[in-house]
C-alpha cells in the first residue's frame, strides 16, 4: 500500500508563473517561516500556482477555517513532526529494533496525531469547532477501519524511554529486576574493593595514600597499584597508566563478583533489545495511521501558517471569476445550458464557494442535449473531457458567461506583501504602503499604466502579478476585496534582462522575451510588461510598443503594461477593451503619491523628478526650452487633470465626512428621543395605575355603602373580577399602543385632533386622548369636568382630554322599534337608552357563554338605537374571536364588522356597525 504523500500534489500547475521575477519564492519563504515542523515547512515550500478551481476553493476554505480557529483562541502544537517514512518502513521489518531516540521521536508524532484526533472529535463537554473542510481532510484519520486508534499504543509505550534515550526501569518487570541486581552487585564489588584497597594502602602498595580509589577498566572494577608492588597484590592486571608507574589490578576475591556483574550486564542488554523490538513492532503495526496523520498534519500546519500570515497582513480570500469570451459560439437547438452566468459566491466546488447552484440537467427532456463549459469539464471532471470530445455533435461545448456588468478583475486596497513587510521591519508594525485599487470594467482586459519615475508603476505591476500567484497558490492576499480571473499562465517581462554571455543588450533581451510570450500567451494568460518599448529610439520603440499591445489585445490576453510613451497613452484612450491608468504625482512637493488612478493617463514628470533630485536649474530650464509646444501642452493638461481629480477626491472625502457626522448626530438624537419616550411612558403608566387604583377605591367605598350584606358581597366579587379583566385589558392596550409607537407601526394612523368645542350632554360618546378609545358621558360635574364610563370602569376626565364628541340622541326602545319597522312592542318597564353602554367585555367566558351574552347585547343595542358597539374578547388563542366574528357576520342586526387599530385593542376587540 503506497504511503500518503507528505507534500502537496498540485493539479494543473500553470504553464509559467514568472515566480522569480515576481518574488514569489521570497514570500513563500516568509510564510514557511511561520511553521514549527519540517513537514509544514516543506509543504509551504512546494506550493505552486494552479488553475484547478476545485483545489483552490478547497485550499482557501481550509485556510479560512484555520483562521477562524485561531481567531477564536484555538491552538495546536506541531512541534516534533517530521517525515517518519524511513523509520516506519524499518519498524515494519520483522524482528527489527529502532534506537530509543528514534522510538521516542515516533512517539512524539503519535502524540500529535492522537491530539489532532481528539481536537476533531472532542468529548461531549469539550469545545467543538465548526470546520467542515478540515474535517473532510481528516476523515480517514477518524475512520476506525482506515486508521487504528493510537491511545493503546501511547498507553503502552509512553514514559518508558527517558529524554536522553535510556530505557526507564519501568520498561518491563524483568528489566527492573536485573537493574536492582546490578545495583546490589555494584555495591558488593565496591565494598570488596574498598577493603582490599584499604589493606594495600596500609601496607603502602597502592598509588594513593589518602583514598580508596576504585576505577573501571574493560567493564571490570579494579584498584590502582604502584608498578613496583604489583607482585604483592594477587589478582589480574587489566591495564597500566601511560607512564607505566601505575597498574590496575582486579583482586582475586572480586573476580567472581565481576563475572557476575558482566553476566547481569549481558542480561540487561538482552532485555533492552527485547523491549526495543517489541516497541518497534508496536509502532510498525500503527505505521499506516502515523503516516496518514503526518500527511494530514503537514497540510494542516501549512494552512495554519497561511492563516497566521493572513492575520498579520489583514488578508482576504480572493473570489475567482470567469472571463467573458471574446468570441461567441452559436448554441445548438434543443440544448440545456448548465454553464450560464454564475455568481462569484457559488457553492458549487467547481464555481465558487457561495453562489446558488444551477439545477442539474439530468432530468431534462431526452431529446435535449446537455451543454457543459469546457473549463468546467476539464477542472471538475477531467476524466470526462475525453469522453465528451468523443461524443461528437451530441455534446456541444459552451464557454461560461459572466454577468455583463460584473468586473472580472478587481483589487480593492491591495498591498504588495513584501513591501509592507519591509516597511514594518524598518518603521514599525503600523507602517503600510499606499493601497492599490485596480478595477477593470467588463470586457476590458488591458491596462496601460503611465506616470512619473519612482511613482510606483513597476510596484503596481508586481503587486498584480504576485497577488495573482498567491491567490492561485491557495494563499489569502493583502487586500480589502479581490476578484480575479483564473489564469492558466502568468508571463512577466520586468527588470533588466541584459546578458553578456548570450550577447544580448537590454533592448534585445526584452524583445526576445516579449516575442516568446507573444507566441505562447492565450485568452486566460496574464501578461505583465514593464517599460514596453524603452531602451531604443523613442519613435521606433513607441511603434513597437503599440504593435505589441495590439497583438495581446487581439489575443484577448489579460495584459498590464507600464510606459512613458505618449503613443501608448493615445492607444489606450482610442481602443475598446483598453484602460488608461496613472500613478499620482504631487505638483506642490514634486514627489509621487503612489496612488493609482484609473481612466486617465499620467504625465512622466521627468523634468520635475530631476528637479526634485537636485539637478542644476540651468539644465532643467534648458530642457524645458527643448520640449515641443505639443508635448508641453499635453504634460500641462495631464497635470491640470490630475489636480482636478485630486480636488474632486478631497471634496468627495469631505462630503463623506459630513455624511458620517450627520449619521452620528441622527443616532444621538434617536437615542435621546428613545430615552425621553421611555421616561414619558413610565410616567403615563404610573398615572394609569393611579387612576385604576382610584377607581377601585371608589368602587370599594360604593360597595361598602350597600346595606344588604349578601348583595354587597356578590357585587364585590363581580366588581373584583371585572376590575381584574379591565386592568388586564388596559395593560394590553397600553403595551400595544407603546409598542406600535416605538416601532412606528402607527405612523400611518390618523392623528386624533380636537375639534371645535361641541356641547356635551349625558349619554354622548367622547373620544379620550389619554386612552385612545371612546367612553360614555354619565354625569356633567362642571363645564370642564365630566364623569365617563369606559366599559366597566368609571372615571373623571378633564375637557382637554376629549378629542371628539359623538352626540347620541336618546330614544326609547319603543321608538327605535317603531322607526325600524312599525312593530308594536309592549314592555313591562322602560329602559333609559341614555345609559345603554356601547361596549361589552366577554374575556374569560366560554364560546357558548360569550355568544349568548353578545346576542343579548346586540338586541338591546339595536332596540336602543346605538349606531355601533364594541366587543372586547381578548387575544388569547383566537378561538373566542373567531367564534364571535362568525356569529356577527350572519347576524341580521349587523351591517359591518371591523378590527380596531393596534392602539385601540387590535385583535383583542371587534367593532360592529349596526343596521339603521
The answer to whether 898 is annotated as binding is no
Instruction: Flag whether 905 is marked binding.
Output: no
Q: How far apart are CA 431 and CA 417, in angstroms?
A: 12
Q: Which of 645-659, 764-778, 824-838 has the lowest mean pLDDT?
A: 824-838
Q: What confidence score (pLDDT) does residue 659 get? A: 87
Provide the sign of the torsion angle of the four alpha carbons 793, 796, 797, 803, taken in this order. positive
pLDDT of residue 578: 92
Average pLDDT rounded to a whole number, residues 119-142: 88
DSSP structure class, residue 876: T
What is the DSSP annotation of 538-598?
HHHHHHHHHHHHHHHHHHT-EEEEEE--HHHHHHHHHSTTEEEEEEEEETTTTEEEEEEEE
- What pLDDT score was predicted for residue 283? 93
pLDDT class of 78 with cuts at 50, 70, 90? very high
Q: pLDDT > 90: what percent of the chain?
A: 29
The pLDDT tens digits for 710-741 are 666 766 776 677 677 666 666 666 666 666 66
Strand partners for 868: 913
Cα angle vertex 705, ends 702, 707, to 5°?
Answer: 135
Phi and psi angles of residue 67, each rounded to the nearest 5 degrees, phi first: -65, -40
Class of domain 839-914: alpha beta
The 3 state secondary structure assigned to 189-245 is HHHHHHHHHHHHHHHCCECCCCCCCCEEECCEEEEEEEHHHHHHCCEEEEEECCCCC
The pLDDT, as a whole number, for residue 868 is 86
645 has a pLDDT exceeding 80: no
Q: What percent of the chain has pLDDT over 70?
A: 72
Handedness of CA 812, 813, 816, 822 (dihedral sign): negative
- Contacts with 881 (C-beta within 8 Å, 6 or more apart), sequence order: 873, 874, 875, 907, 908, 910
Q: Is the pLDDT score of 310 beyond 60?
A: yes
Give phi and psi for 778, each to the nearest 5: -100, -35
CA–CA distance, 829 with 628 (Å, rounded to integer): 118
Q: Is 324 buried (19+), middle (13-18) or exposed (0-12) by CB count in 10 A?
A: buried
What H or E segment, with its residue span, contains residue 106?
A: helix 100-120
User: Measured between alpha carbons, how far is 281 from 287 in angstroms, rounded to an integer?
Assistant: 10
More confident residue, 763 or 497: 763
CA 658 to chain centre: 31
Tell me which range, 75-79, 392-396, 860-864, is most confidently predicted by mean pLDDT: 75-79
Q: Give me the mean pLDDT over the 780-789 stretch.
A: 85
457 is in an annotated binding site: yes
Among the ranges given (556-570, 612-626, 652-666), the one the predictor scored with the smallest mean pLDDT: 612-626
Q: Please check the confidence at residue 369 and state whether its pLDDT lies above 70.
A: no
> Who has greater pLDDT, 335 or 41?
41
Cα gap 304→622, rounded to integer Å: 60
Q: Answer whether CATH 1.10.3720.10 is correct for domain 410-615.
A: no
Q: Which residue, among 636, 648, 656, has the nearest Cα to 599 in the 3D structure? A: 648
Instruction: Summarize the confidence of residues 229-243 as an average pLDDT.
Output: 73
> What per-residue confidence (pLDDT) applies to 336?
29
pLDDT of residue 766: 86
Phi, psi dihedrals of residue 353, rounded to the nearest 5°: -70, -15
pLDDT of residue 603: 65
Res 98: pLDDT = 93
The model's confidence at residue 345, banded by pLDDT at 50, 70 and 90, is very low
Q: What is the largest CA-CA distance in the chain?
A: 162
Is 173 annotated in a binding site? The answer is no
CATH ID of 24-170+271-318, from 1.10.579.10, 1.10.1420.10, 1.10.10.10, 3.90.1150.10: 1.10.1420.10
Q: Please give the radius of gyration of the chain, using alpha carbons only, rounded to the nearest integer.
A: 48
Query: Of the spans 220-234, 410-424, 898-912, which averages the highest pLDDT?
Result: 410-424
Is 165 marked within a binding site? no
Q: Are residues 114 and 150 in contact, defined by beta-carbon separation less than 8 angstroms? A: yes
| SS3 state at 803 | strand
Per-residue model confidence (pLDDT) at position 190 = 78
Answer whether residue 225 shows pLDDT above 70. yes
Between CA 376 and CA 383 the distance in angstroms is 12
pLDDT in tens, 349-367: 333 333 333 333 333 333 3
pLDDT, position 500 = 40
Q: Is the pLDDT of residue 293 over 60?
A: yes
Report the distance separating Cα 61 and Cα 353, nearest Å: 8
pLDDT at 478: 96
- Whether 487 shows a pLDDT value over 90: the answer reads yes
User: Distance between CA 231 and CA 784 in Å, rounded?
Assistant: 143
Is 453 annotated to bind ligand? yes
Ranked by mean pLDDT, which of 182-196, 432-446, 870-884 comes out on top? 432-446
Reported confidence tier of residue 585, pLDDT bands at 50, 70, 90: low
Strand, helix or coil for residue 84: coil
Contact 840, 877 (CB under 8 A): no
What distance in Å separates the CA atoms of residue 77 and residue 377, rounded to the nearest whole number? 40
Distance CA 325, CA 594 (A): 33
* Range 521-541 average pLDDT: 88
Q: What is the C-alpha separation between 447 and 439, in angstroms, rounded?
A: 10
664: pLDDT strictly greater than 80: yes
Q: Are 397 and 370 in contact (CB under 8 A)?
A: no
Looking at 46-84, list the stretches that DSSP marks H as alpha helix, in order from N- to C-terminal side.
Answer: 53-71
**3-state secondary structure labels for all residues of 487-547:** CCEEEEECCCCCECCCCECHHHHHHHHHHHHHHHCCCCEEEEECCCCCCCCHHHHHHHHHH
Distances (CA, A) of 455 to 450, 583, 591, 604, 649: 9, 6, 8, 9, 19
d(CA 758, CA 767) in angstroms, rounded, equals 13
Model confidence at 390, in pLDDT bands (50, 70, 90)?
very low
Q: φ and ψ at 146, to 5 degrees?
A: -80, -45
160 is in an annotated binding site: no
Distance CA 671, CA 103 (A): 67
Most confident listed range (216-220, 457-461, 787-791, 878-882): 457-461
What does the alpha-carbon distance between residue 834 and residue 46 come to, in Å, rounded to a whole number?
Answer: 97
Give the per-residue pLDDT at 61: 95
Confidence of residue 830 (pLDDT cuts 50, 70, 90): very low
- What is the arrangement of strands in the sheet containing 765-768, beginning at the earlier edge strand? 793-798, 785-790, 773-780, 765-768, 802-806
| Upper half-sphere CA count for residue 585 (Cβ side, 13 Å) | 28
Q: Is 40 annotated as a binding residue?
A: no
Name the band, by pLDDT with cuts 50, 70 and 90, for residue 748: low
pLDDT (0 to 100) of residue 387 = 36
Amino acid at each position: 500500500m503506497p504511503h500518503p504523500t507528505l507534500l502537496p500534489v498540485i493539479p494543473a500547475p500553470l504553464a509559467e508563473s514568472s515566480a522569480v521575477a515576481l518574488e514569489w519564492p521570497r514570500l513563500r519563504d516568509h510564510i514557511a517561516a511561520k511553521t514549527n515542523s519540517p513537514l509544514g515547512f516543506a509543504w509551504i515550500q512546494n506550493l505552486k500556482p494552479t488553475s484547478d478551481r476545485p483545489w483552490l476553493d478547497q485550499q482557501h476554505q481550509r485556510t479560512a477555517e484555520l483562521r477562524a480557529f485561531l481567531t477564536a483562541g484555538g491552538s495546536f502544537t506541531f512541534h516534533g513532526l517530521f517525515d517518519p517514512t524511513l523509520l516506519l518502513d524499518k519498524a515494519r521489518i520483522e524482528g527489527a529494533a529502532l534506537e530509543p531516540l528514534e522510538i521516542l521521536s515516533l512517539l512524539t508524532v503519535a502524540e500529535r496525531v492522537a491530539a489532532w484526533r481528539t481536537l476533531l472529535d472532542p468529548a461531549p463537554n469539550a469545545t467543538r469547532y465548526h470546520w467542515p473542510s478540515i474535517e473532510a481532510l481528516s476523515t480517514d484519520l477518524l475512520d476506525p477501519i482506515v486508521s487504528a486508534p493510537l491511545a493503546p499504543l501511547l498507553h503502552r509505550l509512553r514514559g518508558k524511554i527517558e529524554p536522553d534515550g535510556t530505557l526507564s526501569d519501568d520498561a518491563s518487570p524483568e528489566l527492573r529486576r536485573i537493574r536492582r541486581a546490578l545495583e546490589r552487585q555494584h555495591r558488593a564489588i565496591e565494598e570488596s574493593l574498598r577493603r582490599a584497597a584499604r589493606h594495600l594502602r596500609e601496607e603502602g602498595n597502592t598509588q594513593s595514600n589518602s583514598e580508596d580509589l576504585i576505577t573501571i577498566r574493560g567493564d571490570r572494577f579494579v584498584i590502582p597499584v604502584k608498578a613496583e608492588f604489583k607482585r604483592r597484590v594477587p589478582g589480574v592486571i587489566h591495564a597500566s597508566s601511560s607512564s607505566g608507574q601505575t597498574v590496575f589490578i582486579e583482586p582475586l576475591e572480586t573476580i567472581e563478583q565481576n563475572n557476575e556483574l558482566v553476566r547481569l550486564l549481558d542480561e540487561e542488554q538482552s532485555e533492552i533489545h527485547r523491549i526495543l523490538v517489541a516497541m518497534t513492532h508496536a509502532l510498525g503495526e500503527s505505521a499506516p495511521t502515523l503516516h496518514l496523520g503526518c500527511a494530514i498534519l503537514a497540510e494542516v500546519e501549512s494552512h495554519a501558517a497561511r492563516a497566521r500570515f493572513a492575520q498579520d497582513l489583514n488578508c482576504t480570500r480572493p473570489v475567482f471569476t470567469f472571463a467573458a469570451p471574446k468570441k461567441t459560439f452559436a448554441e445548438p437547438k434543443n440544448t440545456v445550458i448548465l454553464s450560464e452566468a454564475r455568481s462569484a459566491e457559488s457553492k458549487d466546488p467547481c464555481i465558487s464557494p457561495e453562489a446558488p447552484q444551477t439545477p442539474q440537467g439530468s432530468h431534462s427532456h431526452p431529446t435535449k442535449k446537455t451543454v457543459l463549459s469546457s473549463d468546467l469539464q476539464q477542472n471538475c471532471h477531467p476524466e470526462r473531457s475525453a469522453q465528451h470530445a468523443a461524443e461528437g455533435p451530441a455534446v456541444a461545448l459552451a464557454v461560461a458567461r459572466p454577468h455583463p456588468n460584473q468586473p472580472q478583475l478587481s483589487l480593492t486596497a491591495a498591498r504588495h506583501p513584501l513591501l509592507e513587510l519591509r516597511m514594518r521591519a524598518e518603521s514599525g508594525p503600523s507602517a503600510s504602503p499606499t493601497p492599490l485599487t485596480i478595477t477593470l470594467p467588463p470586457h476590458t482586459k488591458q491596462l496601460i499604466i503611465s506616470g512619473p519615475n519612482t511613482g510606483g508603476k513597476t510596484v503596481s505591476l508586481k503587486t498584480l502579478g504576485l497577488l495573482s500567484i498567491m491567490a492561485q497558490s491557495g494563499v489569502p492576499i493583502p487586500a480589502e476585496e479581490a476578484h480575479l480571473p483564473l489564469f492558466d499562465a502568468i508571463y512577466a517581462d520586468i527588470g533588466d534582462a541584459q546578458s553578456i554571455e548570450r550577447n544580448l543588450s537590454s533592448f534585445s533581451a526584452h524583445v526576445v522575451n516579449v516575442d516568446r510570450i507573444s507566441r505562447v500567451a492565450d485568452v486566460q494568460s496574464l501578461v505583465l510588461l514593464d517599460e514596453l518599448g524603452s531602451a531604443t529610439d523613442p519613435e521606433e520603440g513607441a511603434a513597437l510598443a503599440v504593435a505589441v499591445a495590439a497583438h495581446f489585445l487581439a489575443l484577448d490576453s489579460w495584459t498590464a503594461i507600464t510606459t512613458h510613451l505618449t503613443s501608448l497613452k493615445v492607444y489606450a484612450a482610442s481602443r475598446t477593451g483598453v484602460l488608461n491608468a496613472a500613478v499620482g504625482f504631487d505638483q506642490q512637493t514634486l514627489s509621487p503619491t503612489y496612488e493609482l488612478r484609473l481612466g486617465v493617463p499620467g504625465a512622466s514628470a521627468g523634468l520635475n523628478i530631476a528637479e526634485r533630485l537636485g539637478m542644476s536649474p540651468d539644465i532643467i530650464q534648458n530642457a524645458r526650452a527643448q520640449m515641443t509646444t505639443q508635448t508641453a501642452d499635453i504634460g500641462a493638461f495631464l497635470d491640470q487633470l490630475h489636480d482636478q481629480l485630486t480636488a474632486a477626491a478631497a471634496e468627495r472625502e469631505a462630503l463623506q465626512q459630513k455624511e458620517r457626522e450627520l449619521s452620528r448626530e441622527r443616532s444621538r438624537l434617536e437615542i435621546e428621543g428613545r430615552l425621553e419616550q421611555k421616561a414619558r411612558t413610565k410616567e403615563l403608566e404610573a398615572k394609569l395605575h393611579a387612576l385604576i387604583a382610584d377607581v377601585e377605591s371608589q368602587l370599594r367605598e360604593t360597595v361598602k355603602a350597600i346595606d344588604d350584606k349578601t348583595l354587597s358581597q356578590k357585587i364585590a366579587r363581580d366588581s373584583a373580577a371585572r376590575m381584574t379583566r379591565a386592568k388586564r385589558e388596559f395593560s394590553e392596550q397600553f403595551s400595544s399602543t407603546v409598542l406600535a409607537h416605538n416601532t412606528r407601526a402607527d405612523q400611518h394612523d390618523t392623528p386624533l385632533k380636537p375639534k371645535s368645542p361641541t356641547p356635551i350632554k349625558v349619554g354622548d360618546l367622547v373620544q379620550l386622548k389619554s386612552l385612545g378609545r371612546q367612553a360614555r358621558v354619565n354625569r356633567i360635574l362642571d363645564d370642564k369636568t365630566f364623569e365617563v364610563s369606559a366599559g366597566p370602569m368609571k372615571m373623571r376626565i378633564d375637557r382637554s382630554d376629549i378629542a371628539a364628541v359623538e352626540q347620541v340622541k336618546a330614544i326609547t326602545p319603543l321608538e327605535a322599534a317603531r322607526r325600524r319597522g312599525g312593530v308594536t312592542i309592549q314592555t313591562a318597564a322602560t329602559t333609559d337608552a341614555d345609559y345603554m353602554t356601547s361596549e361589552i367585555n366577554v374575556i374569560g367566558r366560554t364560546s357558548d357563554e360569550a355568544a349568548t351574552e353578545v346576542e343579548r347585547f346586540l338586541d338591546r343595542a339595536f332596540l336602543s338605537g346605538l349606531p355601533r358597539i364594541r366587543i372586547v374578547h381578548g387575544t388569547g388563542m383566537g378561538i373566542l374571536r373567531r367564534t364571535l366574528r362568525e356569529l356577527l357576520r350572519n347576524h341580521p342586526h349587523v351591517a359591518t364588522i371591523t378590527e380596531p387599530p393596534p392602539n385601540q385593542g387590535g385583535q383583542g376587540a371587534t367593532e360592529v356597525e349596526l343596521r339603521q
